[in-house]
Each structure stands twice: as C-alpha cells, then as structure tokens.
Amino acid sequence: MLRERWPGLRKVREANDPAAALDECTVVVVERIIASIKGAIQAMGGKVEIRSVEDGVVELSFEGNPKLRQSIRSTCLNNALIQEVNFVDF
C-alpha cells in the first residue's frame, strides 16, 4: 500500500523492530542482544551489564556460572558486528 501511494519509496523498516539491521557495533546493538537472553541469564542466577562497546569489542560486567558466560559470549559473537567479548567482575 505504501508503494502505491509513493512509488519512489525505498526499503521500509519498522522503527521498533529489534531485528532491524544496524551497520555499526554500538551499545544499542549489544543491548538488543542482551535483552533477548536476559530472562535466561536471570533465571540461571546471572547478572550482566554493558561496560563498553568500541570498534567491535564489547566489555561486559558479569556475575554467574562460567557456562553462562560462554553462552553470553557465543550469543554476542553470532552478530557479525561484534569481534570480541571480554568480561570483568562486578
């Protein structure tokens, strides 16, 4: 319907779509990733916060089981914008 009214309209993305592609590794990208698994982290007694995001390197404060730490790392690294994930204790 949008294209019928505006034939020159390019690709349209929903502004609130968490899967909307971003082309740079930012805090927003990492927040979305963490938000998608936060319930599981909390259910397993873990706690995670973003400390910094710079040039594809993410630093997270973490408290919890080492297996949970590895799951968080793997989930973050599934995003092509993230090159490295480092953890520090709270």
pLDDT tens digits along 74-90: 999 999 999 999 999 88
Per-residue burial over 50-88, b = 16 or more CB atoms within 10 Å of its CB, e = otherwise: eeebeeeebbbebebeeebbebbbebbeebebbeebebe
Amino acid at 66: P
Domain 23-89 has CATH 3.30.450.20: no
Q: What is the pLDDT of residue 31?
A: 96
Confidence at residue 60, expressed as pLDDT on a 0 to 100 scale? 98
Each domain of the chain, given as residue ranges in start order, spans 23-89
- The pTM score is 0.73
pLDDT of residue 23: 82
